[in-house]
Chain A
Amino acid sequence: MSVTIDPERSETRALGEIVDLSGADVLEVGCGDGRLTWRYADLATSVLAIDTAADEVEKARQATPRRLRPTITFEVADITEAELPPAAYDVAILAHSL
């Protein structure tokens, strides 16, 4: 399957217009294959990106650019059950998962 999603980076631009991710600790819920995560993670201090789809999370882990690996942690988790630390994130992104 060959699809290119948002090569225009409209979504990343909208995100940047809404919040400053520089130096932020970010929680992303519904990260899927990491498509969006890789586009903003350069700015962040840390990113915990979760999704319930194990195959998508594995794809995200495998395809994460080397330079972003220290910043991003991909985990299989459900936000309604995950053990998340309190008051730990500056930004939470609900990516198409409400």
Chain B
Amino acid sequence: MVDALRRIHRSLRPEGVLIDLHPQPTNSAVEVWRDGRITQLGHIGSEADVRDIVEARLRLDQMEKDGWYAIERRRVFDLLFHFPDVDEWLTYMAEEEPEIELPEELVSRARRRLSAVEGELVIREPARASGLRRLPGTGGGT
């Protein structure tokens, strides 16, 4: 990852900006949306993912301490994933997030909530956007 950040540093113009978009190191909320109402069913996530995010942040912080980049702006936001039904959500999770174990009780609750009425299943993933200005850096050129 440090190698990637150094390569990006080299490819940026002197006043260039690095944007890091990344989930927050927390679990995502599972919600059912129907008739304009949001019902929270629980949370999902994996300890390994949280650990990876924390480690990635530490490496980015270290690049900043070493003078490669300087943080300028940060925004936090929720990235929402909308699914028309539970089966589509399960298919997505199996393909994209196979390391996350979904509690059976949570899946059952989602099925019950969505069985009777039209609605959506929504995953709410807290995320952070960081803008870092390129600095000359340690041996980083201009």
Distance in angstroms from B20 CB to nearest chain A CB is: 5
Distance in angstroms from B42 CB to nearest chain A CB is: 19
Contact in complex: A19, B131 (CB < 8 Å): yes
Contact in complex: B83, A2 (CB < 8 Å): yes
Contact in complex: B127, A11 (CB < 8 Å): yes
Contact in complex: B82, A3 (CB < 8 Å): yes
Q: Does B101 count as interface, using CB distance less than 8 angstroms?
A: no
Considering only CB atoms and an 8 Å cut-off, how many residues of chain A contact the other chain? 36
Chain A 6-27, CB-CB to B under 8 Å as 1, else 0, gives 1110110111011100000001
Contact in complex: A90, B20 (CB < 8 Å): no
Distance in angstroms from A31 CB to nearest chain B CB is: 11
Contact in complex: A15, B83 (CB < 8 Å): no
Q: How many A-B residue pairs have CB under 8 A?
A: 130
Q: How far is the CA of A82 from the CA of B3 in the complex (A)?
A: 12
Q: Does B38 count as interface, using CB distance less than 8 angstroms?
A: no
Contact in complex: A86, B19 (CB < 8 Å): no
Contact in complex: B22, A96 (CB < 8 Å): yes
What residues of chain A lie closer than 8 Å to B20, measured between beta carbons? 94, 98
Q: In the complex, what residue of chain A is closest to B120 when comparing beta carbons?
A: A4
What residues of chain B lie closer than 8 Å to A8, measured between beta carbons? 80
Q: How far is the CA of A18 from the CA of B142 in the complex (A)?
A: 23
Q: Does A79 count as interface, using CB distance less than 8 angstroms?
A: yes
Q: Give which listed residue, B1, B11, B23, B95, contacts A92 with CB less than 8 A.
A: B11
What residues of chain B lie closer than 8 Å to A89, measured between beta carbons? 11-13, 16
What residues of chain B lie closer than 8 Å to A4, measured between beta carbons? 81-82
Contact in complex: A3, B92 (CB < 8 Å): yes
Q: How far is the CA of A89 from the CA of B23 in the complex (A)?
A: 25
Chain A 70-98, CB-CB to B under 8 Å as 1, else 0, gives 00000000011010111111111111101
Distance in angstroms from A5 CB to nearest chain B CB is: 5
7 A-B residue pairs with Cβ-Cβ distance under 8 Å, sorted by A, are: A3-B83, A13-B77, A14-B21, A18-B75, A79-B4, A82-B7, A92-B18
Residues of chain B having any CB pair with chain A under 8 Å: 1, 3-4, 7-8, 10-23, 56-57, 59-60, 72-84, 88-89, 91-92, 95, 127, 129-131, 141-142
